[in-house]
Amino acid sequence: MPASVVAVSLSSRHTFSKKSQDAITLVEGLGVDGDRHAGVTVQHRSRVRRDPSQPNLRQVHLLQAELHDELRLGGFDVEPGDIGENVTTRGVDLLALPTGTLLHLGDHATVRITGLRNPCVQLDGFQPGLMQATLDRDPDGSLVRKAGVMGVVVAGGVVRQGDHVRVELPAPPHMPLDKV
């Protein structure tokens, strides 16, 4: 199955969940137009308290719909946007991509992957046990964060449900994703 956009979401306020939209507009260097987390510098409250001048490497939150499927099988009631993602995809293993991967969304928009979303306790506030459900261990015992990836907008454009997703890997050597 070709990789595609399942849903797009935004919130103009600092809310945990984001509301599904017919379309969102990505703005180069800023993020999702109208979303509270858009900006050149960091917008997440905890990060602003630490250093409001740091660059915003979390302009766009992307999550694979396959995680929603897994969570539903575990008894959680989750829909696109519920756990804060702006773009929900299907058919691409976002967590396996290296840092710097370009995701071309639709005809014009491009997001450069900067790292992993680190699951936080707000997930448990949404549904008890959800934070633990978004964490796992790989065979060597290392922590696996499954709550999606973060990125910055390198080319703006409108993104809609049903748009294609094209993956462009960076030049080797590939650096694994780390939390941002």
CA distance linking residue 149 with residue 117, whole number of Å: 5
- State the pLDDT at residue 1: 73
Residue 125 DSSP SS3: helix
pTM for this predicted structure: 0.96
Question: Mind listing the domains of the chain with CATH numbers?
Answer: 4-168 (2.40.33.20)
Q: What are phi and psi of 102, to 5 degrees?
A: -100, 130
- State the pLDDT at residue 88: 98
- Is residue 105 scored above 90 in pLDDT? yes
Q: Kindly list the distances between the CA atom of residue 146 and the CA atoms of 7, 69, 132, 174, in Å, as whole numbers in the listed order.
A: 18, 12, 10, 20
Q: 120: buried, middle or exposed (CB in 10 Å: 19+, 13-18, 0-12)?
A: middle
* Mean pLDDT for the stretch of residues 161-165: 98
pLDDT digits (tens, 9 = 90+) for 45-89: 788 888 889 999 999 999 999 999 999 999 999 999 999 999 999
